[in-house]
Amino acid sequence: MARPALTPREDREVFVVPLEVRPDHIDANGHVNNVVYVGWLQDVGTAHWNARFDEETRARWSWVALRHEIDYLRAIEPNATGVAARTWVGDPQGPRFNRYVRIEDGQGRLCAQGVSEWCLVDAATLRPHRIPPPMVAVFSTTTEATAISAD
């Protein structure tokens, strides 16, 4: 049974990434393959990080995915357009953040939702590091931003 629909937190930025449905995403059942959704969760989190932090910060810190959990609610058909992901983060737990993602079709209907657990690591040593408060502050806004084009 699917969990209730994820709802963005009012105190967190909702970051929007358009998603492209390519022919190689379609499986034998005629819809986007489940593995593609896992890739989208990772890509969306990475896009949010890259858009909000400068090159120097991204060179010092990296993120390691610890877990992905996805609820599939509505199939995305071949040639679908207007598909988008909305993502936001939860509260840090030491070096860990939960990242929430809603994947919606061109009509704004919820097709899938996911939670990924990410761990902040020192990019040189790959050792976990507590998420600094200034980093959390970057994600703490209610301004919705469009990330990147689907091109």
Predicted confidence (pLDDT) per residue in 91-137, tens digit: 999 999 999 999 999 999 999 999 999 999 999 999 999 999 999 99
- 10 in any annotated domain: no
Q: Domain limits at 19? A: 15-146
- 88 in any annotated domain: yes
Predicted confidence (pLDDT) per residue in 76-90, tens digit: 999 999 999 999 999
- 77 in any annotated domain: yes
Predicted confidence (pLDDT) per residue in 29-59, tens digit: 999 999 999 999 999 999 999 999 999 999 9
- 7 in any annotated domain: no
- 8 in any annotated domain: no
pLDDT at 3: 79
pLDDT at 2: 59
- 89 in any annotated domain: yes
Query: What's this model's pTM, rounded to 2 decimal places?
Result: 0.89
- 3 in any annotated domain: no
Residues 6+ apart with CB under 8 A from 78: 21, 23, 26, 30, 31
Beta bridge partners of 100: 88, 115
Q: How confident is the model at residue 140 (pLDDT cuts 50, 70, 90)?
A: confident
Domain CATH code at residue 131: 3.10.129.10
Burial class (CB in 10 A: 0-12, 13-18, 19+), 47: middle
Residue type for 148, please?
Answer: I
Domain count within the chain: 1
pLDDT at 141: 72
- 2 in any annotated domain: no
Average pLDDT over residues 137-146: 66
